[in-house]
Amino acid sequence: MFFPLRDYRPSHRFPLVTLTLIAINVLVYLYQALVLGDQRVPVRVGLHRAFITKEELFLYTYGLSPCEVLGSCAPFPPVDFPLWLTLFTSMFLHGGLLHLAGNMWYLWIFADNVEDAMGRLRFVLFYLLSGLAAAAAQIGVNPDAQTPMVGASGAISGVLGAYMVLYPRGRVLTLLWVFYFVRFLQLPALYFLGFWFLFQLLSASLVGTGEGGGVAWMAHIGGFVAGALLVRFFVTRPRPQP
């Protein structure tokens, strides 16, 4: 397993957008986990009545269900806002603490330099477009899915793609962990993120629908490719020479 611990490229200005995105994601998770919690409420599924937690109801309401957005199935639960808005709200929801922590860690390590290269407003637009591309990729391979997609990983994958294009030689301190073998390596971003992308491709090919084990692999792939392609249209300052 490869896990990033830090990179060695300082940003030239305060990463306001990156920290704001992290704060929003954390606050939303605290709301769903602590305020809503595991109190059960009744819901109607077809002709039947069931009980789910308030947190689960929140995720079903604001998560992205492909078949609901495409209009091929009825929304659950019924909502009073356009379903396309879940393309955006789903980017700020997470299914658990580890899910949140992993996404925010990658965002913290790689996003500040991408924000620095693009500028704050351009980075916000880039982040949202990457998330939309990730959602489109997952919907394209599994349009009938009813389970809601949640998480910032699609948009963050776009940030990873942009980082690899901008700073392929940037060093990433990496933890290599294989059973009892543990080693710290300084890998070029091209190698670390290239391996990460190949792992997403392999995982997506194994599950077929692009989603397995609760992970939307195709969303990661779509976000990464979108980020790598879009970055050149958003960069405002020249890349520093290695």
Average pLDDT over the chain, rounded to an integer: 92
Task: Judge contact between 83 and 68, C-beta under 8 A.
Answer: yes
Residue 239 lies in a domain: no
Question: Domain holding 142: CATH number?
Answer: 1.20.1540.10
Residue 78 lies in a domain: yes
Residue 148 lies in a domain: yes
Cα distance from N-terminal residue to C-terminal residue, the chain: 28
pLDDT value of residue 173: 96
Residue 139 lies in a domain: yes
Total domains present in the chain: 1
- Given CA atoms 239, 240, 241, 242 in this order, what sign does their dihedral have? negative
Instruction: Report the distance separating Cα 28 and Cα 92, nearest Å.
Output: 7
Residue 241 lies in a domain: no
Residue 242 lies in a domain: no
Q: Please give the residue range of the domain that contains residue 78.
A: 2-234
For residues 236 and 46, the model is more confident at 236
Tokens of 180: 């009892």
With a cut of 80, say whether residue 238 has pLDDT above it.
no
Task: Judge contact between 141 and 210, C-beta under 8 A.
Answer: yes
Per residue in 28-85, pLDDT tens?
A: 999 999 999 888 888 876 667 778 899 999 999 999 999 999 988 988 888 899 999 9
Residue 240 lies in a domain: no
Indicate the pLDDT class of residue 101, thresholds 50, 70 and 90: very high
Indicate the pLDDT class of residue 237, thresholds 50, 70 and 90: low
